[in-house]
Amino acid sequence: MTSPSQYIKENETYLQKAVKVAWPAVVESFFVALVGLIDSFMVSRVGAYAVAAVGLTTQPKFIGLAVFIAINTSVSALVARRRGENRREDANRVLMTAVACVLVLTVVVSVLCVVLADPIIHLVGSAEDTHEYAVAYFRIIMGGIGFSVLSLVINAAQRGSGNTRIAMITNLASNVVNVIFNYLLIGGNFGFPALGVTGAAIATVIGTVVACGMSIASLFRKDSYVSIPYMRQQKLGLCKSSFASILHFAPNVFVEQIMMRIGFLLTATLAANLGTNAMAAHQLGMNVMSISFSFGDGLQVAAVTLIGQSLGAGEPQKAKHFGTLCQGIGLCFSLILALFYLTMGRWLYQLFFPADPEIVEIGVSIMFFMVPIVLCQVSQVIFTGSLRGAGDVRFTTIASTISVTLIRPSVSYLLAYPLGLGITGIWLGVLADQATRLTFAGLRFRSGKWLTKKI
């Protein structure tokens, strides 16, 4: 029987390992979300229409990126599992195969999005004062996605191998460059042209170029588990089995991403149809919500890595313990964030829209609902990530489709329009979605069925 002192010591070891993997991922996700908030702040100096225009492009952008997100999720889980199984060659083959897939798909997705930008932005509910700016922003962002998606797939492999610091460093550098060029190009400083929304898009692409270069450089480090010199030394090539592994894993995640983004898109369109002020307030609310998501996302990265490696090593109970531990850390973060949103919501909206009291009042009502949302959101993100990391992607696809694609837009529409609650109804729909996903993922995690999945 394990003594109390032995139990504490064992959990201290687990905690130290979880924190070691998690903190770079949390910092990375937080600063990505923070830069999104800073982007909105800088763009808000141009006007509420500019914030709304950028917001209109968010969901179409993520629909375009859905296939890449699916590949990245697969790569993280597969590399983590192969490392746990001590199969370094296979882990490197997974990355090589994924990069080849990404390069081909980038051309297709980028061309389609650039060519069809005008009808796509019309479809998501653009108004006369936002359409032109949203189209320009969308074309620039999607035209330059090659740098972003290549960096993301490399970082996904690094995370799976346990090296979460590389992704943190590349994203921090990218975000710093993004903010600098935002300052130079949005308002026109130090002799640069004042390009407004277009300048924000160009700044984002420049930041991804920096991140891409740093991610590629990380593959030449001697201590890197996924490594170009190692691939050369072992004369590794593309492998059908690696492609089959990705193909077995990725389609479920892709379908999940598409269905989720359709739900997000429908909800954003409902908000856009309430008017430019409502959409501007909604977009800032979504950016604030991404801050809370960043903590869950960082801990999700840790859970995927630690669970994948534990299952690969044949230690399912250790995998479940890591998932539970990440969940406990996430709950602490969510309580702190909920308190911040409850007390600082008005100040935040006044900071962004000092001359628009109507937007501020809309924002205050949004922040009221953000409190229960964040308590559900952080937990469900970690639970869902744990399931994905174990390969239980069919369940997460079904759960997300029911919650995000059906419940979220349905409740939002019913409450916002027929019942006349407006933007309040939209955010009640968001809360219904988060609570449903938490219920599904939490029950599945506790059942332990995900521990027996093979990938």
pLDDT confidence bin for 26, thresholds 50/70/90? confident
pLDDT at site 193: 92
- 263, 404 contact by CB (below 8 A): yes
Q: Is the pLDDT of residue 8 over 80?
A: no
pLDDT at site 1: 47
Using alpha carbons, select from 399, 263, 364, 198 the residue that is nearest to residue 271: 263
pLDDT at site 7: 46
pLDDT at site 284: 86
Letter for the amino acid at 149?
Answer: V
Q: How far is CA 227 from CA 40, 127, 221, in A?
A: 37, 48, 7
pLDDT at site 4: 46
Backbone angles phi, psi at 402, to 5 degrees: -65, -45
Q: What percentage of the chain carries pLDDT values higher than 70? A: 98
Taking only the tens place, the pLDDT of each residue in 262-300 is 888 889 889 888 988 888 888 889 888 888 888 888 888
- 373, 294 contact by CB (below 8 A): no
pLDDT at site 388: 85
Tell me the average pLDDT of the chain. 88
Can you tell me the mean pLDDT for 334-356? 91
- 429, 415 contact by CB (below 8 A): yes
Taking only the tens place, the pLDDT of each residue in 124-181 is 877 788 889 999 999 999 999 999 999 999 999 999 998 888 888 998 899 899 999 9
pLDDT: is 6 or 97 the higher one?
A: 97
Structure tokens at 374: 């964040």
CA distance 73 to 385: 9
Can you tell me the mean pLDDT for 111-118? 94
pLDDT at site 6: 56
The H-or-E segment that residue 287 falls in is helix 276-312
pLDDT at site 452: 85
Can you tell me the mean pLDDT for 39-50? 79
Letter for the amino acid at 167?
Answer: A
Q: Is the pLDDT of residue 212 over 70?
A: yes
pLDDT at site 79: 93
Q: Is the pLDDT of residue 39 over 80?
A: no
pLDDT at site 68: 94
- Residue bearing tokens 């492609």: 243
pLDDT: is 19 or 433 the higher one?
A: 433
Q: What percentage of the chain carries pLDDT values higher than 90? A: 48
pLDDT at site 297: 84
Structure tokens at 189: 């400083």
Can you tell me the mean pLDDT for 386-409? 90
pLDDT: is 46 or 300 the higher one?
A: 300
pLDDT confidence bin for 106, thresholds 50/70/90? very high
pLDDT: is 292 or 423 the higher one?
A: 423
Does this model's pTM top 0.85? My answer is no
